[in-house]
Amino acid sequence: MSVTALLIQTGSDYDCEIGRTATWEDRMSGITVTPLQPSIGAEVSGVDLSRPLDAATRENLAQALAEHLSLVFHDQALTPDQYLAAAEAFGPPMRQHYSQHHMPGYSNIGLVYHRNGQRPAERWHTDHTNRERPPAATILYGVEIPSKGGETSVASMRAAYNELPEGERRRLDSMRTLNSLDTDNHDTREEDREKFSGPYIHPMVRRHPLHGSKAVFFHAGKAVIEGMDPDASRDYMADLIQRMIHPEIVYTHRWRKGDVLVIDDRATMHRAHGDYDRSESRVLWRIIVEGDRPVL
């Protein structure tokens, strides 16, 4: 049995005694996973994502993501084809609905780049909830990095849910959201709006298909709470985010060229930091991979 399988099976022992305080190593695959924050984030070493990943490595990475919710790989050098192949360890790459920002010749890779008209996504969100099967993960590859600023922060919605009062957890468990494509991106192509506008109904709290835990799940810009006035819905979601997210459940990634950051969209929210000099380039390649239909 691999170390990952053992740790996953032992469950709470791993959470309390190993995963939060120490590095573990899978000696069969050479992977080392070092936690970065008590509730979220881990650095993975011993993996060259430019090379084909065997089945055991793919399984170990998928389980590590489910446990730590964000994974960091340093010093990677990837072509678009190698990047797409590596992303498949976490799920099949899926089409992003902002086709105006696709990499030429690679419709499953998006370019995060302010010079093509994008604004940094500075509000807390999880990606592409306007799909029947929203992403399992968002994967970002740092190609050009500014000298200062431009970080990406990831918050554990698993920890956020667990910290809410029991009464509010029960209330959230009963709520559902109606999800469609947001309207504040004015350069979105009409064909994308027609194809990806939904609407899709998802639970406000979802259970992780690998980890089994619950997490708050919504995108405030794409969702309205079912049965609630739209303005009241937006106000409640904004208040909930403000109350839930605090530094102890956040990992902030300070980019280096060649970094790959994998974010588990099933149990996190993330945001970009726009605090960098726009005369410098910040270019990330983004892949999202298909997940399961959210269920509680």
- Residue 40 inside a domain? The answer is yes
CATH of the domain at 269: 3.60.130.10
SS3 of residue 70 by DSSP: strand
pLDDT for position 183: 63
Contact 35, 42 (CB under 8 A): yes
pLDDT for position 186: 61
Q: Structural domain tally of the chain?
A: 1
> Can the peptide bond before residue 199 be classed as cis, meaning omega within 30 degrees of 0?
yes
Q: How far apart are the first and last CA of the chain?
A: 30
Of 191, 225, 208, the closest CA to residue 265 belongs to 208
State pLDDT tens for residues 96-139: 888 888 999 999 999 999 887 788 889 999 999 988 999 999 99
- Assessment of whether the complete model's pTM goes beyond 0.85: yes
Q: Rounded CA gap, 176 and 217, in Å? A: 10
pLDDT for position 2: 33
Q: Which residues of the chain are modeled with pLDDT < 70? A: 1-29, 183-189, 192, 194-196
- Residue 227 inside a domain? The answer is yes
Q: Which residues of 178-200 are buried (b: 16+ CB within 10 A; e: fewer)?
A: bbbbbeebeebeeebeeebbbeb
- Residue 238 inside a domain? The answer is yes
pLDDT for position 250: 98
Two tokens at 25? Answer: 């190593």
pLDDT for position 259: 98
- Residue 279 inside a domain? The answer is yes
Domain that holds residue 7: 1-291
Q: Which residue has the tokens 């969702």?
A: 223
From the centroid of its chain, how far is CA 87? 13
